[in-house]
Each structure stands twice: as structure tokens, then as C-alpha cells.
């Protein structure tokens, strides 16, 4: 049996655990999920990393309480944070793709380069999440909010997370730089 599908399932579970580690904010909480998403891309690559995140989203939409704060259910498609769930898949994919392309197979992986990849992946996550958040707030939950400008959407769904997501990107890059050579030597990658 191939190990990659099992590792994808493991990272789907880890993403759910990351959602349980929450600092509540009014609309979108701060969680450890972004860190797990980045690591899924680094360690599982551009195929199985996003598969782990797609599995996580699918399980949550099926009703398992694995989304941030112990939530789950199909109704999350209409939630302001659903774009982040889609962004997890994109971020894992680009982290896996760029890490396979730019992190060498030798014994030393640059933590700076790995962190740059993590920042690029986080940027893609926000490139997916912010427009979805904006559309949700203006067309789905408009009755509750009266609508919002794109600038306000950035202020609500991006600005509060800049520092924590930057720390997570640096930490993921550092850990990937340490873990990738060890996993390659052991034959796990």
C-alpha cells in the first residue's frame, strides 16, 4: 500500500486539530491550520498535499466538526470563511510545487528559501480567500452587514492575520528546511 494517501489522511486530521487550536475573533478566528497546510505542501508535495486539504474540506462539509471552533456541515459553503478553506487547497499545492522545484535534494535546504515559499503559498491562500470573503459579505450575508468595500474586506480578513501568518510561514519554512533533508535520507520522501 502506498504511504501517500495515508499521509494525506493524516494531514487532513492534523488540519482539523489545527482548527481546534483557536484564538477567537469576530468573523475569522486565528488557528494553527495555516501552519499545517504549509507543512502538508512541503512534506507531501503538489499532489498529496492539496489532496489532504481537499479531504479535510470534504469531511468538514459532510458534517464532521473539524472546521475552526469545532464546526462542520454543508452550510459552511455560505460562510465568510469558506474562501480560506478553498485557499488551503491552493496554498498546499503551491507550497508543494515550489518546494519540489526550488528546494534542492541535497543535505542542506535553505530556511530562507523555504520561508519564501511559505509566504508565496500564504499569499495564494489570501488571493483565493479575500475575494470569496468579499463576495460572501456583499451577496450572501448582505442582510446582516449591509455590504462592505474590498478595502474593508482586506481590513477584516487579512490585516489581523499578517503577523500571526508571517510567524507561521517562517516557522513552516524553518521546520521544512530541517525536516526535508532528514526525510529524504530516511527514504520517507
Cα 99 to Cα 149: distance, rounded to the nearest angstrom: 35
Rounded CA gap, 155 and 121, in Å? Answer: 20
The domain segmentation of the chain, as residue ranges, is 3-186
Quick check: helix, strand or coil at residue 46? helix
Mean pLDDT by 10 residues, the chain (189 residues): 88 93 74 95 96 98 90 91 96 96 78 96 97 89 71 92 94 95 82
**Distance, CA of 33 to CA of 22 (rounded, Å):** 9
CB-CB contact of 132 with 86 (8 Å): yes
CATH for 3-186 is 1.10.1760.20
The length of the chain in residues reads 189
DSSP symbol at 78: G
Amino acid at each position: 500500500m502506498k504511504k501517500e494517501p495515508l499521509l494525506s489522511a493524516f494531514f487532513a486530521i492534523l488540519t482539523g486539530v489545527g482548527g481546534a487550536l483557536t484564538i477567537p475573533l469576530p468573523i475569522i478566528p486565528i488557528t494553527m491550520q495555516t501552519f499545517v497546510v504549509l507543512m502538508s505542501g512541503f512534506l507531501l508535495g503538489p499532489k498529496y498535499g492539496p489532496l489532504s486539504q481537499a479531504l479535510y474540506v470534504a469531511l468538514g462539509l459532510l458534517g464532521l466538526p473539524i472546521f475552526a471552533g469545532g464546526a462542520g456541515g454543508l452550510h459552511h459553503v455560505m460562510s465568510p470563511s469558506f474562501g480560506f478553506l478553498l485557499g488551503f487547497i491552493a496554498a498546499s499545492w503551491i507550497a508543494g510545487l515550489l518546494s519540489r522545484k526550488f528546494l534542492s535534494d541535497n543535505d542542506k535546504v535553505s530556511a530562507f528559501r523555504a520561508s519564501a515559499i511559505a509566504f508565496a503559498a500564504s499569499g495564494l491562500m489570501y488571493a483565493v480567500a479575500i475575494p470569496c470573503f468579499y463576495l460572501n459579505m456583499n451577496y450572501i450575508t448582505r442582510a446582516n452587514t449591509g455590504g462592505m468595500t474590498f478595502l474593508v474586506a482586506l481590513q477584516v480578513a487579512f490585516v489581523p492575520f499578517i503577523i500571526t501568518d508571517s510567524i507561521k510561514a517562517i516557522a513552516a519554512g524553518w521546520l521544512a528546511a530541517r525536516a526535508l533533508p532528514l526525510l529524504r535520507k530516511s527514504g520517507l520522501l
